[in-house]
Amino acid sequence: MKKRFLALALSMSMALLACGGQKAATETSVAGANAAGTNAESSVAEDKATEEAKAEGSADFDALVAEAKGQTVNFYGWGGDDRLNQWLDGYYAEYLKKNYDITLNRVPMGIEDILAQLSAEKEAGAKESDIDMIWINGENFKTAKESDFLYGPFTQNLPNFNNLVSQEDPETNKDFAYPIEGYEAPYGKAQMVFYGDKSKGDFPKNTEELLAYAKEHPGQITYPALPDFTGSAFVRNVIYDIVGVEQFQTVKEDKEAVRELVKPAMEYLKELNPYLWKEGKTYPEKEPTMRNMVADGELIMGMTYSAYLVSNSIADGSFSNKMQTFIWDKGTIGNTNYIAISKNAKHNAAAQVAINAMLSEDVQLNRYETLKTIPVLDNSKLSKEVQDAFAKVDLGEGVLEQSVLLEKRLPEMPAGLVPIIEEIWQEEVAGK
């Protein structure tokens, strides 16, 4: 009899615990937030004073800061990078809490799913969206902006964007050659680099040498299958190396015209196929798969959009210290990734303040130190001390200087060309 009650009580208490526990948790967190609010007030006031001294005419921004106080901002973006996740949940979240009393809630969600959700919300006529900040760029930005998913223009409201970001940089105004018009603010710079095992001979400096290198090490080189982000960038880089850069900024977005233009590059890739991993009959599905194969020694070189992957991975122990970054003589594609705000964002003010904070000297410097992401700030607009601090950052082993990278940086192709080239690759190169 007693046992029966015990069993019943246990299951009941579990259910009760679930409801009660959650409620209690929200109560305490609300109380906590209130307490933090009063504590943070003084520090916010101080910060506001410095902010005002820094940027004239930021009265509008002050209103945003006041409105954002105490809000929780949801930041939606790809969640597969553990270092970045830790940094966002750690330094950046604390920075927002301390300076603006904003709580950061990072939601790990891929961009396709974010766009799907925004589209469903729009279809259902929802007035408010939980999606506040979105990590985005390229074709996805074009899709989102054209589908009227985004709020803007907003970048002109942000003092740090106006004062610290270069307004002449083409990447400030155009994302994959698509006009930004203030609908997204730069978040970090990426550049395609190659990495390989130093002990396997000289690294190839162009497509021709890559072919020779592949012949020398058959079956030990490959690239991720398109439409993988990195694989796609690699193919565009091959096209640039063989065909040239300028004509792609103006070419009509017509499949047959593009096919004619990229023909020599596709011929080259077909020629490369038999010397690739599995004789080019198949490719790793995604960049991470290829990266693990390089780490495990199955491949001798790889490519990535994170310019400082090698030093981070050597520090982790996932790469051996024989790994070295290299680029091609004619350069490699670089792009910027951005943060946008959804049109119906519930916490619009907090999102703007958080994006402004992301563009502050402190945050960009800390990000460069911790993650070694190429900063988006204009070095010449920074104070002397901050410039020195940036210069002092130890980049670690096996990587290239920022100046070397930026000097060899090639622009992205217009967003509309990317899917066209991916289709052509599928038709003409894959498995051929």
Partner 1 sequence: MNPIKYKGRAGGIFYLLFRNLFFLSLVLPLFFLLLFSFTERYAWPELFPTSFSLRSFKSILFQRKALFQDTLFSMVFSLLVSLCTVLVAFCTAKYQNEEGLKGKGLVAFLVNFPIMIPATVFAMGAQILFLKIKIFNPFLTVFLAHVLYALPYAVSFLQEGMSRKMKLYEEQAKVMGAVGGRLFWKVSLPLLYPYIFPAFMMSYILSMSQYILTLILGGGKVKSLSLIMVPYIQSGERNLASAYGLIFLSSSFLLFFLLDFLEKGIQRERG
The residues of the shown chain that bind partner 1, judged by CB under 8 A, are 1, 3-4, 6-7, 10-11, 14-15, 17-18, 21-22, 25, 74, 76, 78-82, 85-86, 89-90, 107-110, 113, 116-117, 120, 123-124, 126, 130-131, 286, 288-289, 291-292, 295-298, 316-320
Minimum distance of partner 1 from residue 303's CB (angstroms):
15
Q: Which is nearer to partner 1, 346 or 381 (CB)?
A: 346
Shortest approach of partner 1 to residue 227 CB, angstroms? 15
Q: Which is nearer to partner 1, 248 or 319 (CB)?
A: 319
> For residue 133, what is the enclosing H or E element?
strand 133-136
- Buried (b) or exposed (e) across 298-323, using 16+ Cβ within 10 A? ebbbbbbbbbbbbbbbbeeeebeeeb
* Distance in Å, CB of 318 to partner 1, minimum: 5
Give the shortest CB-424-to-partner 1 separation in angstroms: 26
Which of 298, 369 has the CB closer to partner 1?
Answer: 298
Contact 171, 359 (CB under 8 A): no
- Residue with Cβ nearer partner 1 (88 or 242): 88
With H, G, I as helix, E, B as strand and everything else as coil, classify residue 403: helix
Q: Quick one: 11 or 206, whose CB is closer to partner 1?
A: 11
Q: Between residues 175 and 228, which has the closer beta carbon with respect to partner 1?
A: 228
Nearer residue to partner 1 within complex by CB, 7 or 30: 7
Sheet holding 193-197, edge to edge: 301-304, 193-197, 323-326
Which spans in 69-107 are helix H? Answer: 82-87, 93-100
Instruction: Provide the minimum distance between the beta carbon of 430 and partner 1 in the complex, in angstroms, as a whole number.
Output: 22
Kindly state the smallest distance separating residue 276's Cβ from partner 1, in Å.
17
Tell the smallest beta-carbon distance from residue 174 to partner 1 (Å).
28
Q: How far, in Å, CA of 175 to CA of 195, rounded?
A: 26
97: exposed, middle or buried (Cβ count in 10 Å: 0-12, 13-18, 19+): middle
Contacts of 161 (CB under 8 A, 6+ apart): 155, 185, 356, 359
Q: What's the rounded Cα separation, in Å, for the pair 240 and 54?
A: 42
Cα radius of gyration (the chain): 24
